[in-house]
């Protein structure tokens, strides 16, 4: 049976005893009921993972020792950014979780002209922290040893403007940028294969406005369709990621 994994964002040294961070210890004790002698896996987000044995369980503390390093990586060779119009809390949580499982390297939440969800700075910061915790839980579950980044929420025009600047200043043009648009004529297979970087831009429930689609095209995005059926926005990103991984990434 696979060992339970814990994110432990500290220096981890073979030969040392490590006290799990408070949140991980709480989860280990209350939800997973770990006991002295149990084997588990720690990772700190810097690559690789450590097998360990629980040497002490207290009321609020879990200490592990007997650490062994395994240089295991489960990252995709394709660095995928999922740029997703922000959705309501539950759907966005699902999008973040699936993006991690499907190997996205970065998630960029965006506000668009038809976004229903509006976030002021305070709420955006709270949601960012919440999404970060979903990333951690997903990495614990799916075996990734490096945490994908969740970028700060940005307005679509600002974000596209930054991308356009980057493309004119540097070699960022080597990146393939796909705009998911239900009535696009091209399919995912039509653009030239991405080299190492791919960005997939997904609209809100009401789709992109014509102006937004034009601005994305100006920033180098190729409009592509996922087929004749309109997918829910939370399905569209996951479907595109799975397909692109199958075509050019993990397999």
Q: Which is closer to ligand SAM, CB of 214 or CB of 232?
A: 232
Minimum distance of ligand SAM from residue 192's CB (angstroms): 19
Minimum distance of ligand SAM from residue 115's CB (angstroms): 11
Q: Which two tokens stand for residue 140?
A: 């614990």
Chain residues that interact with ligand SAM, rule: CB under 6 A: 180-182, 202-203, 205, 207-208, 225-227, 229-233, 236
Under a CB-based contact definition with an 8 Å cutoff, are residues 220 and 164 in contact? Answer: yes
Spatial CB neighbours of 36, under 8 Å, sequence gap ≥ 6: 54, 55, 56, 57
Minimum distance of ligand SAM from residue 189's CB (angstroms): 13
Q: Which is closer to ligand SAM, CB of 62 or CB of 95?
A: 95
Q: Which is closer to ligand SAM, CB of 122 or CB of 228?
A: 228
Minimum distance of ligand SAM from residue 231's CB (angstroms): 4
Q: Which is closer to ligand SAM, CB of 48 or CB of 182?
A: 182
> What is the C-alpha to C-alpha distance for residues 106 and 184, in angstroms, rounded to an integer?
25
Under a CB-based contact definition with an 8 Å cutoff, are residues 96 and 130 in contact? Answer: no
Q: Which is closer to ligand SAM, CB of 162 or CB of 187?
A: 187
Minimum distance of ligand SAM from residue 53's CB (angstroms): 46
Minimum distance of ligand SAM from residue 34's CB (angstroms): 41
Q: Which is closer to ligand SAM, CB of 168 or CB of 187?
A: 187
Q: How far is CA 39 from CA 28, 60, 192, in A?
A: 12, 18, 46
């Amino acid at each position: 049976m696979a060992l339970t994994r814990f994110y432990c964002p500290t220096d981890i040294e073979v030969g040392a005893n490590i006290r799990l961070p408070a949140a991980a210890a709480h989860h280990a004790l209350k939800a997973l009921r770990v006991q002295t002698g149990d084997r588990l896996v720690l990772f700190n987000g810097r690559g690789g993972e450590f097998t360990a044995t629980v040497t002490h369980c207290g009321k609020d503390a879990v200490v592990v020792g007997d650490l062994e390093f395994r240089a295991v990586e489960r990252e995709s060779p394709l660095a995928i950014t999922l740029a997703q119009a922000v959705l309501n809390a539950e759907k966005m949580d699902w999008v973040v979780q699936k993006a991690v499982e499907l190997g996205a390297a970065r998630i960029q939440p965006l506000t668009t002209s038809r976004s229903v969800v509006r976030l002021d700075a305070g709420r955006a910061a709270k949601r960012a922290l919440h999404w970060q915790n979903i990333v951690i839980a997903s990495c614990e579950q799916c075996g990734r040893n490096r945490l994908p980044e969740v970028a700060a929420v940005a307005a679509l025009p600002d974000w596209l403007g930054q991308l356009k600047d980057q493309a004119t200043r540097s070699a960022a043009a080597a990146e393939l940028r796909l705009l998911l648009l239900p009535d696009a004529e091209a399919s995912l297979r039509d653009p030239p294969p991405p080299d190492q970087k791919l960005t997939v831009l997904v609209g809100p429930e009401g789709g992109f406005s014509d102006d937004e689609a034009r601005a994305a095209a100006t920033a180098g995005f190729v409009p592509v369709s996922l087929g004749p059926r309109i997918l829910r926005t939370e399905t569209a990103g996951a479907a595109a990621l799975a397909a692109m991984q199958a075509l050019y990434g993990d397999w």
